Amino acid sequence: MKLEITPKAQEWFKEEISLAPGMGIRFYGKVYGKTDVHEGFSIGMSAEQPVQPLLKEEVDGITYYIEETDDWFFKGYDLTVDFDEKLEEPKYVFTKNQEDEKQ
């Protein structure tokens, strides 16, 4: 499982979300909606302080992370957070990760 934030997505987060010290951007699975790989669930994000991060990536002083409790949603996939120029918001791209399936 990997987490990647593209430069365009990073720019959006820096402009749109102000974070207090110690806070980060959490990605998680939520009920309703759909993703490319989940029917009935969509991806959410919030500004929170990490508790038990399963995975984290720091870019220009911002910590992006997935908590251990959200392993069920992301297991078997890498997540790339990109920016949708047309909708002017983040977009989430899941890529199958064979390494997760071996564990």
Distance of alpha carbon 26 from alpha carbon 23, whole angstroms: 9
CATH number, domain with residue 85: 2.60.300.12
How far is the C-alpha of 16 from the C-alpha of 89, rounded, in Å? Answer: 10
3-class SS of residue 49: coil
- Helices (DSSP H) in 2-94: which residue ranges? 7-16, 71-74
Domain enclosing residue 36, as ranges: 3-102
Rounded to whole angstroms, the maximal C-alpha distance in the chain is 39
Q: pLDDT per position in the chain (103 positions), as tens?
A: 899 999 999 999 988 988 887 889 999 987 765 666 666 667 889 999 999 999 999 988 889 999 999 998 888 889 999 999 999 999 999 899 876 555 5
Look at the chain and report how many structural domains it folds into. Answer: 1
